[in-house]
Structure 1
Amino acid sequence: MQNRIGLVVDINNRQQARAFYNSVFLGSSSIEADWSGDVATCVAGDTSSAYKQRVMDRINYYRAAAGVPADIQLNPDFSSKSREAALIMSANSALSHTPPTTWNCWSADGNTAAGKSNLSLGSAGPDAIQGYVQDRGNNNQAVGHRRWILYPQTQEMGTGDVVPPTTSGIASNALWVIDSHTWDVRPSVRDEFVAWPPPGFVPYQTVYPRWSFSHPDADFSNAQVSMSQNGNQVPLIVHPIQPGYGENSIVWVTDGLDPASQSTAWPAPEEDTTYLVNITGVLINGETRAFQYEVTVFSPDTPGADEEQPVISGDRAIPVTLASQFQFTPISFSDAHQLAVSTLTDSATQLNAETVDPLIQDLTDADYPLIQNQIVKSGNWAYHLAHPNAQSQALVIDQEFLLSADSQLTFASRLATATEYQLARVEISLNGGVAWQTLYQQAGSNNSGESGFVQRVIDLAEFAGKSARFRFVYYFDQGSYYAGTSAGTGWYLDDIQFVATKEINDTSISVLNGSSSFVFTPTAERDYLLQVRGLPWPAFAGMEWGPGKVVKALDPTTDNDQDLMFDLWELNHNLDPDNPSDAVLDSDNDGVSNLREHDANTDPQDPESYPGMPGEQKPWLKIMPWLELLLSE
């Protein structure tokens, strides 16, 4: 799936587009920057190599999805000068591509970088890249930042980031986007044009109010744009044509959304929603042309009905310390896969806040405690999520579970004072906590809310065979909210329990390159869980694990019920190793006892497997199967 070191994705394949978002976009989310600078003393400092790589990864996500070469490399010299530019912007709380020498922390290198960079104030790193592609604000009708990020010829960029503590400065980014390849011959692109959002399946989180269409040779002076959804026209406003930023482009705002507001987000679709885009009157090399394409906005949280699954096949029971081979159905668009081997134990996970449980990850604000004793369901303590500020708060359970058809998550819940924009959510992750989908959601009632705890039960049967993590999120994005952490505000939780699940531990992960089989050698007599997932982009592991296969490792000579049949053989042939009567039975009615099939190593569930012994030749064995046992002694 890679071209040179670049990323390639087929976004006409929904599963692949979904995997790309969950793997690469989420895998390039912001991390601790480890910034070493100081705005007050005009020290630009630096960020960690991992942080800068996240910036490049986020850029290449957008470029690959747009169908242009996604192999942007980090230029150290560009980055060094860009750090000086970012410092200037942060120190002056303003943006300028030509900062005056009177500005605080001005430098010649910073001035040079400012003239060749996208500039951001208030965000840095990967978040700044997303802001550039969104290109909100009244001054960004040309989406110039987006056009430079998606410019096909570019091969190198540099990032400079200022990431100070919130109390001592403003975050900023300078992304050097004009390299020595600006005037190179245009490389091949997927669609001839470059659009955002591009034709194909696009996660709603990366769809913004401003849509754009670029072509290097196009004259859009007389072009017209229309959009429809399910045959109905979508209202839009075309911005004035503005050349001078990357490729020639036409830009429009859709569906009455506000392109100036940072908080304006494309609404999460309840189902996949396809928009038909028509652009007419485009003059290219003297010829008037028209373009038509479809954009399907979808939620990457929701799997498609026909997604490929890496299903593992092989024995149910295997000999301990000996190698056993397994096969799996590979994901067609993934050259590599990952294998996870884990141990399993029956789950006894109950979380009631009476003690500090090591399984609980407290992702709440430091202004209030996660555990409180004023409002409880049972015992003396319960969990509390509130909004001291406009940030979501979370309680994460740091444990992976194997789910079954009988699995449930139960908990006592009380959503107290909250607005309709404050949401109590329970979320599940099927890829180790990279991406999350909502299982349960309750909005506030704009008043004091529930007066007592309500027992909630979430059926997990649809995830049978899957490994999963869980978290409780008191979510807020925009709108009004009750701020505060005092008793009677926010969401209270108690008596969290997992039913009919197994705990997954001691997981080891390896890479399977170009193979649809693997060998596993168990080291102890116990239950193991085997799982496979696709790895289309080797640096980004974000696909969901396929259905788990539980295998039991045994001493191959064990015979617990003393029926002269090895337990390992019985388990692999759907017999009960704790039932001694299995030996005299004839499970496939072929006239041959299960014991005789055991000794011949044939299949007691397949009447055709015992050579030369079809059931009709010995009908008396169906009436007296014990006689075969007697004759065998």
Structure 2
Amino acid sequence: MKKVFFAAFFVLIFFVSCSNNSKEDIYGGFDDEDADQSESTDEDRQPIERPDEAGQPGGASGNESGNPDGSSGSKDDDNAGNDDETEPENDDENGNDGENNETQDGDSGSGGEKPDENGEEDGVYALEPDVGSCTSGIPSDSEKKRVLDRINYLRSIHKLSPVVYDEKDDEVAAECALVIAANEQLSHTPDSSWECWSQVAYDGCSSSNIHIEMASYDISSTNSADIVDGFMTEEYQAEPKNLGHRRWLIDPWLTHIAFGRADYYDGKYFVIGSAIKLINDDDGSDDISDSDIKFVAYPFENYPQELYNDNVMMSFTVIKDKIGRYYNGTGIDFASATIAIIDPDNKAMKVKNIEFDTQRYGVPNNLRWYAEGIKPNVRYNVTVSNIMINNNPEFYQYWFELK
């Protein structure tokens, strides 16, 4: 397993999740949707391990910096819907922010095996971007494969079908990454005032998970698979969190992705803009009745330890209807739901800050919480009870162990 250290004098990274621009607003809520559930109960907090760099509230533009039309499930405060993620700047004397990020990357084409950490060494790009001249680049086949393999490795843990790489979306992902790097900021709706703007870039940013990283040192060796991990943990997403990036990546109806990246040096900072195109008009309506999946939980079964720490939320999504993704946004009520996490000594772990919503980030229902005292190499049994499905109480059980 490869150790990745995020170090240096100055580091910023931003993550923003997205939703279907043809059907949904940028936060995943439909204009006519009134089924969004908002609730948060108080229990006790602590999540899991895996730092992904930083963000700043200014990563969004337009309505992205405010609340979505669908409210968040938080009793404590009502500033939901901002899916920018924030990490503080780090400049300790050793140039190390103290976070050890382990990432499996490399060659697991099928998605069912842990990716080989060696990977292929043919560079980040097949076509180098030139941000100064507004020319996008194309990642190398091996870099695309690292991203695809990491996504499929994680999906396989959740018992989800692998996705494929769709090269027809290379251009929109690349142009989105280009405008992010050129403007050193994030938006799902960049306008024509942005440097290097194009309609293709807009289309890419409005249908992708997007990311920016800035540092005072050369970050061109950044492994693109780490970007996937950042979207999964949502560690620096603003509170209250909606976990939009994660929900898109482990959506049972997701079928194909594309990846864009642009590295740039502005004379002061090194910048990486990137986009994972995953909001697709042809996803979401397939019948997946042949699947055994009944829910998507995080973390689940034997789970990579680097994807959980005290700033990461656990989550649970019900799959009650396999005819289509958006049939899972109604008839599900989390208001009375309870979560029990039991260790091998039959001790109940503390749970806090339960939140939920039915916003359309992938499957349109999500229950999430923080748990306290979780340790690696310990198997925990989880029971989620009193979820009302079409007015009938249901419970679900599963286990996880951080490896």
SS at match of 2:297: strand
Contact 1:124 1:162 in 2 (8 A): no
Most deviating of 152-161 and 205-214: 205-214
RMSD, aligned CA: 2.5
- With over 3 angstroms needed to count, the CA separation of the structure-2 counterparts of 1:79 and 1:62, relative to structure 1, is same
Looking at structure 2, the residues matched to 29 and 133 of structure 1 have their Cα atoms a distance apart, in angstroms, of 24
User: Is 1:241 the equivalent of 2:241?
Assistant: no
1:221 to 2:335 alignment: yes
Q: Secondary structure at the match of 1:151?
A: coil
Query: 1:7 aligns to what SS in structure 2?
Result: coil
Question: Is contact 1:195–1:212 with CA below 8 Å preserved after alignment?
Answer: yes
CA distance in 1, matches of 2:180, 2:111: 32
Write out per-residue CA displacement over residues 218-254 of structure 1, whole angstroms, 9 at most, x where no aligned residue.
4323222232323222222234323211111111122
1:190-269 superposed matches below 5 A: 190-198=292-300, 200-208=301-309, 209-216=312-319, 217=328, 218-229=332-343, 230-242=345-357, 243-247=359-363, 248-255=365-372, 269=376
- Which residue of 272, 275, 289 maps to 1:171? 272
2:212 match: 121
For the residue of structure 2 that corresponds to 1:214, the secondary structure is: strand
Secondary structure at 1:96 match in 2: coil
Aligned to 1:273: 378
Equivalent residues, number: 267
Match of 2:390 among 260, 266, 285: 285
Distance in 1, Cα, partners of 2:390 & 2:336: 14
Whether 2:43 is the aligned partner of 1:43: answer no
Matched, 1:106 2:197: yes
Instruction: Tell me the distance in 1 between the aligned counterparts of 2:209 and 2:119.
Output: 19
Describe how 1:34-113 pairs up with structure 2 within 5 A.
34=125, 36-70=128-162, 72-113=163-204
In 1: Cα distance, 2:209 partner to 2:391 partner:
33
Q: Is the 8 A contact 1:96 1:114 kept in 2?
A: yes
Q: 1:31 to 1:93 in 2, by over 3 A?
A: farther
Residue 278 of structure 1 aligns to a residue in which SS? strand
2:156 paired with 1:156 = no
Q: Secondary structure of 2:253's partner? A: coil
CA distance in 1, matches of 2:116, 2:232: 13
Tell me which residue corresponds to 1:7.
Answer: 111
Pick from 235, 240, 245 the counterpart of residue 145 of structure 1: 245
TM-score normalised according to structure 2 size: 0.61
- Residues 288-367 of structure 1: matches in 2 within 5 Å? 288-298=393-403
2:148 alignment partner, SS class: helix
Structure 2 residue 231 is the aligned partner of structure 1 residue 132? yes
Report how far residue 25 of structure 1 moved.
6.2
Whichever of the two has the greater Rg, that structure is 1
| 2:132 aligned counterpart, secondary structure | coil
* AA matched with 1:43: T
- Unaligned ranges ≥5, structure 2: 1-108, 214-221, 320-327
Aligned with 2:131: secondary structure?
A: coil
State the one-letter code of the partner of 1:211.
M
**1: CA distance, partners of 2:299 / 2:119:** 19
Helix, strand or coil: the match of 2:172? helix
- Alpha carbons of 1:225 and 1:28: their partners in 2 closer, same or farther (altered >3 Å)? farther
On the 8 A contact 2:210/2:274 being kept in 1, the answer is yes
**What's 2:50 paired with?**
none
CA distance in 2, matches of 1:173, 1:190: 34
Q: CA deviation at 1:164?
A: 3.7
**1:559-612: per-residue Cα shift (whole Å, max 9, x none)?**
xxxxxxxxxxxxxxxxxxxxxxxxxxxxxxxxxxxxxxxxxxxxxxxxxxxxxx
- State the distance in 1 between where 2:380 and 2:351 align: 12
Provide the C-alpha distance between the structure 2 equivalents of 1:221 and 1:38, rounded to a whole number of angstroms: 51
- Post-superposition shift, 1:148? 0.5
Report SS of the residue matched to 2:211: strand
Q: Which has the higher contact order (CA 8 A, sep 6+)?
A: 2
Change (3 A) 1:110 1:30: farther
Between the aligned partners of 2:116 and 2:370, the Cα distance in structure 1 is: 24
SS at match of 2:386: strand
Contact 1:79 1:158 in 2 (8 A): yes
Partner of 2:63: none
What do the CA deviations read for 1:316-352 (whole angstroms, capped 9, x no partner)? xxxxxxxxxxxxxxxxxxxxxxxxxxxxxxxxxxxxx
Measured in 2, the distance between the counterparts of 1:225 and 1:273 equals: 18
Q: Look up the equivalent residue of 1:234 and give its one-letter code.
A: M
Q: Runs of 5+ in structure 1 lacking a partner? A: 9-19, 257-265, 299-633
**1:237, 1:252 within 8 Å by CA — same for their partners in 2?**
yes
